[in-house]
Amino acid sequence: MIYLGGWEEIGFGLFRALQLIFSGDPEVLRITLISLRVSGTATLLGAAIGIPVGASIALRRFPARTLLISVINTLMGLPPVVVGLFLYLMLSNFGPMGFLRLLYTPEAMVLAQLVLVAPITAGVTLSAVSNVDARLKEMAVSLGADPLQEVRIILREARLGLLTAVIVGFGSAISEVGAIMMVGGNLLGYTRALTTAIVLLTNQGAFTEAIALGIILLGLAFAINILLTYLQLRTKAGLFAAETERHHPVT
């Protein structure tokens, strides 16, 4: 018998992945949907928080700005297990947020991913908005834009960077395992996501199934990134076209 190292496992894993996908395995579907729901929600919430925060820091000058940028840059590299541990202690029955009864729920997983995703989205947004040509910012003002219009114009100019922020945020969320394992508990049918299932299967020595789920996870991330990249390219020509500026009459 020829020993192929881990390659035969990968080969079987690929075959098994196709089998699971095309057979519509209900457990895999459930795990995939939990992953999508948790990471999708965390990404959206992360964008809702991170984009305004990143843009505000990029566009305004205030005394603690440099300190805040350093904090965001540091938070971008937060170790997931540390976040998991912190939230576990916060959400435990004896913790200050224990009364919320969120531990081992999908909501706790969203919260954990949100803590990781929001700084990443904010950091990438900050960079994207800061990189908009200062002369364009000044031109928006020169054209008579009010502060709100100015922000909208600049954000539109930075739109590709903003979509990148969302893509990076989603990538970070969907691939995260440490934090959601700790606060989600990996409960089958409730908080078991693709990444936590992979860890469990690997620990059980079920490498073929683990690889199959890994391939599904990669495929999922790839499909969503393709969609977002397509959106990036499609919106490239869409600046200002889809909507009319709000009226801001000056009396």
Partner 1 sequence: MALRNASLSVNKGEILAIIGPSGAGKTTLLRLVNLLIQPTSGLILFNDVNTSGDDKHQRSLRRQMSLVLQYPALFDTTVFNNVALGLKIRGCPETVIKEKVDNMLAVVGLSGFEKRMVKTLSGGEAQRIALARALVTEPKLLLLDEPTSNLDPKNVSIIEDIVRAANTKSQVTVVLATHNLNQAKRLAQRVAFILDGEIVEEGASKEIFEQPKDERTATYVDGRMIY
Residues that bind partner 1 (CB under 8 A): 133, 135-136, 138-139, 141-147, 149, 153, 156-157, 236-241, 244-251
Exposure string for 190-203, b = 16+ CB within 10 A, e = fewer: ebbbbbbbbbbbee
Residue number with CB closer to partner 1 (234 or 247): 247
Q: Tell me the C-alpha distance between 179 and 132, whole Å.
A: 35
- For partner 1, give the closer residue by CB, 63 or 249: 249
Q: Tokens 């894993």 appear where?
A: 13
Q: Which is nearer to partner 1, 127 or 175 (CB)?
A: 127
In this complex, which beta carbon is closest to partner 1, that of residue 67 or of residue 241?
241
Closest to partner 1 by CB, 96 vs 147, is 147
Q: Which amino acid is residue 54, in one-letter code?
A: G
From the CB of 133, what's the least distance to partner 1, in Å?
7
Residue with tokens 């393709």: 226
**Shortest separation between residue 141's beta carbon and partner 1, angstroms:** 6
With a CB cutoff of 8 Å and minimum separation 6, the contacts of 219 are 17
User: What is the amino acid identity at position 183?
Assistant: V
CA distance 119 to 121: 5
Q: What is the smallest separation between the CB atom of 54 and partner 1, expressed in angstroms?
A: 19
Dig out the tokens for 248 from the structure: 């801001």
Question: Which of 80, 81, 115 is closest to 97 using CA atoms?
Answer: 115
* Alpha helices per DSSP H over 60-146: 65-76, 80-91, 106-130, 134-142
Which residue number, 107 or 157, has a Cβ lying nearer to partner 1? 157
Q: What is the token pair recorded at 23?
A: 């057979």
| HSE (side-chain half, CA atoms, 13 Å) at 135 | 0
**Minimum distance between the CB of residue 140 and partner 1, rounded to whole angstroms?**
8
Please, what is the minimum distance in Å from the beta carbon of residue 61 to partner 1?
14
Which two tokens mark 24?
């519509």
Q: How far is the CB of 166 from partner 1 (least distance, A)?
A: 19
Find the length of the chain.
251
Distance CA 158, CA 215 (A): 33
Shortest distance in whole angstroms from residue 33 CB to partner 1? 37
Nearer residue to partner 1 within complex by CB, 55 or 111? 55
